[in-house]
Amino acid sequence: EATPATKSYQKLKKLRRTYPTTAHILNIYGDLGDGTDSQVDNKSSKALKYLVVGRAKSYQEQRITGANAKHELLHRNPQVDAILIKFLWGK
């Protein structure tokens, strides 16, 4: 039986052919050591790759670990800030 997540993924998969070929993707996800960021399963976070690779110009994945890898803390994590600055401005 298809789960809501599976149904959502299938809908997104249909949009794949319209995804911009000039896009550069940075996928940052947290891992608390249990395969989740407390809210999102890492398998779901990493599924983005299968939707955009071969279509997007580039794809990078960054796994964040430690106490600040919790879903609601990622936006305040200095490691995430550094990754974003490098991705956006090459610094």
Task: Tell whether pTM > 0.75.
Answer: yes
pLDDT surpassing 70 at residue 89: yes
- The answer to whether 80 and 86 are in contact (CB under 8 A) is no
Give the Cα separation of 66 and 75 in Å (integer).
14
Tell me how long the chain is.
91
The domains of the chain are located at: 4-89
For residues 39 and 48, what is the distance between their CA atoms, to the nearest angstrom? 16
- Residue of 91 and 83 predicted with greater confidence: 83
Q: Which structure tokens are listed for 25?
A: 């993707």
CB-based contact 73:41 (threshold 8 Å): no
pLDDT tens digits, residue range 72-87? 999 999 999 999 999 9
pLDDT of residue 10: 84
In this predicted model, what pLDDT tens digit does every residue of 11-60 receive, in sequence order?
Answer: 888 888 888 999 999 999 999 999 999 999 999 999 999 989 899 999 99
Tokens 């550069």 sit at which residue? 24
Q: Is 37 exposed, middle or buried (0-12, 13-18, 19+ CB in 10 A)?
A: buried
CB burial of residue 30 (10 Å; 0-12, 13-18, 19+)? buried
Give me the pLDDT at residue 1, please: 54
